[in-house]
Structure formats: C-alpha cells, structure tokens
C-alpha cells in the first residue's frame, strides 16, 4: 500500500524529539503510561521479537530496550513509522528503526513477532487494514497491546484549545501570509505597501484579542515580532524566507493537532475496535482505561491475543 509520509510528522521527528509531547516529555514517557508498558514487558519471555508500530522516534522501543538491558532479556525490537523519522537520535543496538512504513502494510513476514505495540499510533491509520496486518505478523498466541487517544483525556482537551488558536492565527487572520505580503510589497515598492503593513498589525491584534498570554498565540506573535525586528538590518527576501519557514513550522504543529484530534476515540469507537479485532482473527480482546491520576485520563488500552 502506497501512503505518502506525512511531512508535518517528519518535520517534528527530524527536530529530534523522543515523544509526541516534545519538551513536555523530553526523556521518555513516565508515570501511568510507562507503568502500563512495564507491566506488559514483565509478561514477555526472555527471548522475544517485538514490533512497535507508528513509533515516531522510537520512545516505546527505547523503553523496551532499556527493560531488556536491565532484566537480561534477549529481545530484538523493530520499530516503524510512516514518517521520515530521525535515525540519528538515541539509537540502541537492540532496535531497528524503519521510516516510511505504514501500519497498513508492514514489511515483515507472517508470524514473526511475539508482541506488537502501538502507543497513540495505529489509530492514526486505517484501523481495519492495520489490525489485519498486525495479526498477520504476530505468531499464534502473540499479543497486540495499544494505548489509544481518548477523546476526553486532558491531552485532547488541551489539543482542541491549541488547535483553535492555530486556526485563528494561520487560517482566520493569516498572520504570516499578511506579513509576507507586506515585505513582498515593500521589496517591489508597491503602492499599497502601507496598506499591507496596516494589514499585519490588524491581523496580529485580532489574534491577540482574548488569546494574549496563551503560549501558542505568544509563540506565533513572537515569531512575527522577531522577523519584523530583524527586517531593518537585512534585505526583504531574508525576512520573507524567515516568515515562510515560521509559517511552515506552525502549520505543521497545527496539522499534527488536527491528526491527533481526528484520531482520538470514544467508548463507542473502542467497541468498534473490538469488532475489527475479531474480524481480523484475534481471539481475546480486552479494553481498559489508563489514568495519570484518579480522574485524569491518559487513554484507552486495548490488548488483543492472536
């Protein structure tokens, strides 16, 4: 199956983040999420072939590799993602990372793996096709374990808020495009240069109304301010290039949030996943919820046995 690598995810992983949550979880997953995986790892035999799908830069693969190191396990770990991931990051001899690999078409032979994992991963794909692929690559008796985005989790609540701010900055008020248009007009000596400059101020002020102090808003406004401050000391083309690059970066963040929000599942969707698992051939399927703390949802869990 030919699926193009998503540029906005490749852009993120090339920046070297370990987890999806970037600077907020810069070393690896912690707490309830980490504990969920440690419980899974404890049940695996000393010699195990693992696969982590939609792995990003391999956070979960690294958790497994470190567990294997600490517990003298002979584990081999494959980890793949549709995006162009950063293979020069924190590599580990037990891990083989693969870029450009969709969950829907796994380049591994039948019945190879004892354990397949997915963390905030396979729900981004065509789930029915991916579950059939995961089933195919598992050994009989092998297990698929996943933590999936929950629509009511704190992450999703925050993501929807951030998405709304990016939407205002990038689509409704188009602050970067307004600034690019102004510097282009200035470079060309266009008659409407002053009008375009007013357009930038207007767009930025509209974004700031009610959003000033919000980190997403402040970062976008900060990027525009930086370009404007530097403009006096360089040719317009350099300022335009900086604004284009900033626009790309923020648009990438906005697209990742859009992906995240549309991948998130509710309880009914999870029941649908159970049906998809059974259709793919899985026998036992268990659903659960993972909590950071009482009342603080981290996500749904799914464990399916071939």
Contacts with ligand SAM by CB under 6 A lie at: 3, 6, 9, 19-20, 54-56, 59-60, 81-83, 102-104, 119-121, 124-125
Q: Per residue in 119-137, is it b (16+ CB within 10 Å) or e — as a string?
A: bbbbbbbebbbbbbbbbbb
Of 24, 34, 295, nearest to 153 by C-alpha is: 295
Q: How far is C-alpha 207 from the geometric centre of its chain's CA atoms?
A: 26
Handedness of CA 156, 251, 121, 11 (dihedral sign): negative
Q: CA–CA separation, 53 vs 77, rounded Å?
A: 11
Task: Kindly give the interhelix angle for 267-280 and 127-137, rounded to the nearest 10 degrees.
Answer: 40
Q: Are 162 and 219 in contact (CB under 8 A)?
A: no
Q: Which is nearer to ligand SAM, 83 or 203 (CB)?
A: 83
Q: Which is nearer to ligand SAM, 7 or 73 (CB)?
A: 7
CB of 141 to ligand SAM, least distance (A): 25
CB of 83 to ligand SAM, least distance (A): 4
CB of 221 to ligand SAM, least distance (A): 27
Of 112, 106, 117, nearest to 67 by C-alpha is: 117
CB of 44 to ligand SAM, least distance (A): 19
CB of 283 to ligand SAM, least distance (A): 25
Q: Per residue in 232-265, is it b (16+ CB within 10 Å) or e — as a string?
A: eeeebeebbebbeebbebbbbbbbbbeebeebbb
Q: Which is nearer to ligand SAM, 227 or 302 (CB)?
A: 302
Dihedral over alpha carbons 227, 233, 235, 236 (to 10 degrees): 30
CB of 85 to ligand SAM, least distance (A): 7
Q: Which is nearer to ligand SAM, 173 or 251 (CB)?
A: 251
| Residues found in the chain | 306
Nearest-CB residue for ligand SAM = 56
Q: Which is nearer to ligand SAM, 83 or 179 (CB)?
A: 83
Q: Which is nearer to ligand SAM, 240 or 302 (CB)?
A: 302
State the pairing for strand pair 296-305/138-148.
Answer: antiparallel
Q: Which is nearer to ligand SAM, 82 or 223 (CB)?
A: 82
CB of 217 to ligand SAM, least distance (A): 23
């Amino acid at each position: 199956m030919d699926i193009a690598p998503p540029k906005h995810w490749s852009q993120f992983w090339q920046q070297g983040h370990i987890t999806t949550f970037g600077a907020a979880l810069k070393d690896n997953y912690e707490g309830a999420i980490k504990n969920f995986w440690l419980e899974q790892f404890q049940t695996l035999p000393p010699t195990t072939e693992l696969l982590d799908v939609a792995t990003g830069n391999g956070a979960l693969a690294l958790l497994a590799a470190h567990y294997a190191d600490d517990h003298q396990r002979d584990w081999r770990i494959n980890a793949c993602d549709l995006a162009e991931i950063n293979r020069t990051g924190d590599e580990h001899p037990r891990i083989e990372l693969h870029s450009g690999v969709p969950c829907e078409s796994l380049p591994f032979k039948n019945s190879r793996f004892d354990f397949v994992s997915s963390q905030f991963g396979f729900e981004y794909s065509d789930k029915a096709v991916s579950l059939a692929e995961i089933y195919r690559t598992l050994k009989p008796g092998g297990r698929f374990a996943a933590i999936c985005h929950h629509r009511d989790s704190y992450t999703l609540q925050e993501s929807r808020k951030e998405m709304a701010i990016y939407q205002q900055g990038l689509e409704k008020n188009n602050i970067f495009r307004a600034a690019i248009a102004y510097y282009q007009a200035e470079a060309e000596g266009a008659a409407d240069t002053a009008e375009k400059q007013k357009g930038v101020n207007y767009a930025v002020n509209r974004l700031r109304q009610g959003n000033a102090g919000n980190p997403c808003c402040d970062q976008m406004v900060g990027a525009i301010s930086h370009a404007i401050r530097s403009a006096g000391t360089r040719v317009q083309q350099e300022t335009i290039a900086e604004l284009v690059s900033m626009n790309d970066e923020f648009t990438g963040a906005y697209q990742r949030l859009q992906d995240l929000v549309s991948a998130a599942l509710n309880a009914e969707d999870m029941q649908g996943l159970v049906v998809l698992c059974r259709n793919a051939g899985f026998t036992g399927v268990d659903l659960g919820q993972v909590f950071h703390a009482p009342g603080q949802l981290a996500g749904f869990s799914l464990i399916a046995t071939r």
